[in-house]
Amino acid sequence: MATYVLVHGAYQGGWIWKPVIERLRTAGHSVYAPTLDGCAERHHLARPGITVATHAQEIARLLFYEDLTQVVLVGTSSGGMVICKAAELARDRIARLVFVDALALMAGERVGDIVKRVAANETTAITTGPNRADAEKRLFADLDPDTRAWALARYTPHPVAALEAPVELGNFWNQGWPTTVIRCRRAANPPEAHQRRTAERLKGAWHELDTGHYPMLSQPEELTRLLL
């Protein structure tokens, strides 16, 4: 039995992983899918000062307080940045890193250096995110109607500094990490070149899914097989 910790991306919460959680648990594995500070059911707690680093500290604390070891740490979208920092903070608890159509930035890089948005986010001093029409017609466009409606009811703006501040990393990229990178062919972001950089620098296994940016909703069976 393996232990999986699934880290969501921007505008999401632990809810995004529900179809995958069910399949992993049915296969006999232990699964955690926390919602990060200021997101989803914790959106009312959004405030200045929430960053990739504070999100990573949450994950590292989860691993400590739950006594988790040999963890398969999975991040999707901007959650890839979170698992990089969390792994750095909890090195001895990590068995493998999995990047699912995910960002993995170098120290000092910003999301805007990598991701070129088609439409501007609605941004306040605290949060940033697409409006509902953009989420429906672009973000969740490839989902079936029922799943799209379910996701639209749950997406929330993301703490702004966690998407716009430069990444703070120490020696993550100088360490060896057993790694898997899973790219979604139908997603424009993160770009393929960025994801290949992750796989090459970490000497990771490379897989592709013929789907959009939310494979945990569009192809949960196929994604679960790759995680296993």
Domain that holds residue 104: 3-227
Residue 146, domain CATH: 3.40.50.1820
Output the pLDDT for position 149.
97
Q: Tokens representing 11?
A: 């505008």
Run means of pLDDT, 10 residues per run, the chain, 228 residues: 98 98 98 98 97 98 98 98 98 98 97 88 95 92 96 97 96 96 96 98 98 98 98
pLDDT digits (tens, 9 = 90+) for 21-47: 999 999 999 999 999 999 999 999 999
Residue whose pair of structure tokens reads 């990771």 in the numeric block: 204
Output the pLDDT for position 53.
97
Global confidence as pTM: 0.97
Tally of domains within the chain? 1
pLDDT digits (tens, 9 = 90+) for 78-110: 999 999 999 999 999 999 999 999 999 999 999
